[in-house]
Structure 1
Amino acid sequence: MRVIFMGTPDFAVPSLQALLDRGDDICAVFTQPDKPKGRGHKLQPPPVKELALRHSLPVLQPDTLRDEAVQESIAELEPDAIIVVAYGKLLPPKVLSVPRLGCINVHGSLLPKYRGAAPIQWAVINGEKTAGVTTMFMAEGMDTGDMLLKSETEVGPEETSGELFDRLKLLGAKLLTETLDKLEQGELKAIPQDGTQATLAPLLKKEMSALDWSEPAQRIHDRIRGLNPWPCAAADLDGKRVKLLASQVIEGEGVPGTAYNLDGELAAACGRGMLRITELQADTGKRMSGKDYLLGHPLKEGARFE
């Protein structure tokens, strides 16, 4: 099959590799422009570009797909299908109409739930017990197209969004292979989404790092793991800023936000129940267990997470 692949982050890499493994004719790879990173602000290519260049695939990085010249270049490639995985740009109607077999998207949720840019993170933040990936034909709206195949997995009770991300990117690649196999065999059946069941998953923001300790421990726990690896839940403890990376819900009670040393373990009281802080990171330090943190930072009387 002659395809154009559009994707940018690490989540899209296994799907591009799946096309390579299938032996598809990848006539072009579209990805976001290189971005400056690190202290030196050196331009860093997206993960998809790195894989594409290793396989000598043509890479294009337009700022927008709304440019008529870009749209014409896509049409001239005459792809059978356009495969889109976390590309980061909406496809305009002229691009959607190019491939004879359609534009197929791999989305990191069980649609119609969690349409948008951060479906995996929001699934964890909201305490979902299951998550998954969906392949669909793309339409003009945000993740509104007809669904093709789904693959579902259980979410671990302490699994972070980063850990779930790593599992779903592999699940997505496998589902893409199955989808294209069925497409070639004429066995795909498109199913319209029920818009009344749709929920949104917008991009996360740094301001979301703050926690409301009056909430139940389970809800705070889900937020901590959902915000890991970015932007990470954070709080001030004894005047020191710490990122809260992992936790466990435990029994107990106290004034919400109060920090405790429970048999050498760092804990926090919540609106209902308590949390054991199992991993954290000071602003100027390395990741460590709550137990190790207490060894170097004994709690003062009345210490609180603010």
Structure 2
Amino acid sequence: MRIVYMGTPDFAVPTLQALLDSSHEVVGVFSQPDRPKGRGYKLVPPPVKELALAHGIPVYQPVKMRDGTALAALEQLKPDVIVVAAYGRILPKEILELPAYGCVNVHASLLPRYRGAGPVQWSVINGEEATGVTTMFMGEGLDTGDILEQAQTPIGPEETAGELMDRLAAIGAQLLLHTLTLLESGKAVRTKQDESLATYAPMLQKSDGALDFSRPAQKLYDQIRGVSPWPSAYAYLDGKRLKVHKAALLPDQTGEPGEIRDGKRLIVGCGEGSLELLEVQPEGGKRMRGEDFLRGRRPGVEKKFTSCPSE
């Protein structure tokens, strides 16, 4: 089939690579515009764009999808199907109706649960034991279209959102190829989503990383995993932000919420149980082991974490 692919971040790269390695013909790739990054604000191309250019595939980066330029380009490309994975744009009706086989989305959750831009992160934050990938026909709503196929996978007890994202990207790539085979052969089955089971997973904000040690240790442990690698979990000590990159759950150890226990390990009391902060990063500093951070602190300084600098 002639395929136009729409995707932007690292998650979308394995699916594009799988299509390039298949018998299908990728005739064009749509990706979001290059973004300025780093101290020099140098424009950096999205990962999907880089892969497409490396294979000589034409790349389109429209700023708007509703001004007619995207539609005109697609009419020239004449795709049989449009495949979308984490593109980050809403497609208007005239684009959704253009390809003969429709627009197929690769979504990193078991729909109708976790619709939206942050399904992987919120599934980890919420302590889910399993998740998966859904291929679906796209409609005008947010992840509301008919389901084509789903693949489920367990979430490891120590797995971060970043690690899970990489696994789901690989699973989604293979699921998409199988879905296209079913579509092309006329064997695809559409299943409407049960709206009563729908939940939403909004894009993460920096504030979603704030740790409140009055909450149970298990909840904080899941939060730390779910906001890794971005925006990272954090709390305040001595009025300064300390990022928490990795922690260990100590459910049977108790302590005053937010208080550092005496000892050589960076163990902090929670509303229920405790956490050992294994890897932390001081404000303006480098990542380090929790015990090294503790060792470098002066005797008699503040020993209680807060969720904001003024507490």
TM-score of the superposition, structure 2-length normalised?
A: 0.95
The range that moved more, 276-285 or 137-146, is 276-285
1:195 lines up with 2:195 in the alignment:
yes
Q: 2:111 is aligned with what amino acid? A: L
Matched, 1:236 2:233: no
Report the equivalent of 1:256. 257
CA change 1:253–1:3 in 2 (3 A) is same
Deviations 1:63-82 (A, max 9, x none): 01111232122123211000
Does the Cα contact within 8 Å between 1:258 and 1:302 map onto a contact in 2? no
Q: Which residue of 2 aligns with 1:130?
A: 130
Instruction: Write the distance in 2 (CA, Å) between the matches of 1:59 and 1:72.
Output: 14
8 Å Cα contact 1:259/1:302 also seen in 2 = no
- The alpha-carbon deviation at position 298 of structure 1 amounts to 5.4
* Aligned-residue identity in percent: 53
Matched, 1:79 2:79: yes
CA contact (8 A) 1:233 1:243 kept: yes
Q: Counterpart of 1:304?
A: 304
SS, match of residue 265 in structure 1: coil
Q: Following the alignment from structure 1 to structure 2, what is the Cα–Cα distance between the partners of residues 95 and 214?
A: 49
Tell me how far 1:295 sits from its aligned partner: 2.7
Task: Give the counterpart letter for 1:267 in structure 2.
Answer: I
What is the one-letter code of the residue matched to 1:257?
G
Mapped pair 1:172 → 2:187: no
Separation in 1, partners of 2:175, 2:46? 23
The residue number in structure 1 matching 2:91 is 91
Match of 2:309? none
Cα 1:256–1:205 shift into 2, 3 Å: same
Larger deviation, residues 154-163 vs 84-93: 154-163
Give ranges in structure 2 of 5+ residues lacking alignment. 307-311
Q: Which consecutive residues of structure 1, in runs of 5 or more, have no partner in the other structure?
A: none
Distance 2:61 2:94 in 1: 18
Contact persistence 1:18–1:174 (CA under 8 A): yes
Written as runs of structure 1 = structure 2, the 5 A alignment for 1:266-305 is 266-297=266-297, 300=300, 303-305=303-305
Moved over 6 A (4+): none
TM-score (norm 1): 0.96
Contact 1:11 1:86 in 2 (8 A): yes
Change (3 A) 1:69 1:279: same
- Tell whether the 8 Å contact from 1:136 to 1:149 is kept in structure 2 after alignment: yes
Tell me the equivalent position of 1:68. Answer: 68
Do the aligned partners of 1:53 and 1:59 also contact (CA within 8 Å) in 2? yes
Corresponding letter in the other structure for 2:182: K
For the 8 Å contact 1:248–1:275, the answer to whether it is kept is yes
Change in Cα spacing, 1:245 to 1:270, as seen in structure 2 (3 Å) is: same
Q: Which amino acid letter does the alignment assign opposite residue 88 of structure 1?
A: G
Give 1:97-116 correspondences, 5 Å limit: 97-116=97-116
2: CA distance between counterparts of 1:200 and 1:219? 19
Amino acid at match of 1:254: G
Aligned equivalents of 2:256, 2:98: Cα separation in 1? 60
Question: C-alpha distance in 2, partners of 1:166/1:15?
Answer: 11
Aligned to 1:38: 38
1:28 aligns with 2:14: no
What is the rounded CA distance, in whole Å, between the counterparts of 1:178 and 1:299 in structure 2? Answer: 61
1:47 and 1:129 map into 2 onto residues whose CA distance is: 29
The alpha carbon displacement at 1:261 in A equals 4.2
* Structure 1 counterpart SS, 2:234: strand
SS in structure 2 at match of 1:305: coil
What do residues 244-289 of structure 1 show as CA deviations (whole Å, max 9, x unaligned)? 1111210211211111244x22111011111111111112222222
- Paired with 1:137 and 1:49, the residues of 2 have a C-alpha distance of 24
Contact map agreement 2:235 2:241 (CA 8 A) in 1: yes
**Per the alignment, in what secondary structure is the counterpart of residue 72 of structure 1?**
helix
| Cα distance in structure 1, aligned partners of 2:165 and 2:291 | 28
**How big is the shift at 1:37?**
0.2
Q: Is the 8 A contact 1:75 1:95 kept in 2?
A: no
> How far 1:62 sits from its partner (Å)?
0.2
Tell me the amino acid that sits aligned with residue 253 of structure 2. G
